[in-house]
Amino acid sequence: MTTLKDSIKVEVKTEYIEDQSSPSEDRYLFRYTITIINLGEKSVTLKSRYWSITDANNHNSEVRGEGVVGETPTIEPDSAYQYTSGTVLETPIGIMQGCYTMITSEGESFEAEIPAFRLAMPGLLH
């Protein structure tokens, strides 16, 4: 039997935004597109998010808030929700990870993990 936690799959694509970044000012802008896939049998609503963002200087910032991009989407079984957002780092590489607090249509609350993913300026890593 699949647990509620395991019923949500999170996929991430990242992009460095060169024209809005300024390396001479330690400003590196990254865009990330998240796809949240409901593999379970119940509708779930994304209530809140938590992010831990760490740059190459080991500076960590945490972000908590309701929903994502101003929405608290309900994701039906066998469907997905996608959104794009961004973050600014002081270094050309960093890591983001976190979780979404979800609630089922029956009122069961659980956390869906967002696996760690790398933000990196192209050509930095070989």
Query: What mean pLDDT comes out for the span 79-90?
Result: 97
Element (DSSP H or E) covering residue 57: none
Cβ atoms 20, 126 nearer than 8 A: no
26-37 pLDDT, tens digit each: 999 999 999 999
In whole angstroms, what is the distance from residue 59 CA to residue 51 CA? Answer: 14
Query: What mean pLDDT comes out for the span 15-25?
Result: 97
> Alpha carbon of 50 to those of 1, 42, 66: distances in Å?
27, 22, 9
Going by C-beta distance under 8 Å and a sequence separation of 6 or more, which residues neighbour residue 21? 27, 28, 29, 121
> Is the pLDDT score of 1 beyond 80?
no
In whole angstroms, what is the distance from residue 3 CA to residue 103 CA? Answer: 13
Q: What pLDDT score does 94 carry?
A: 97
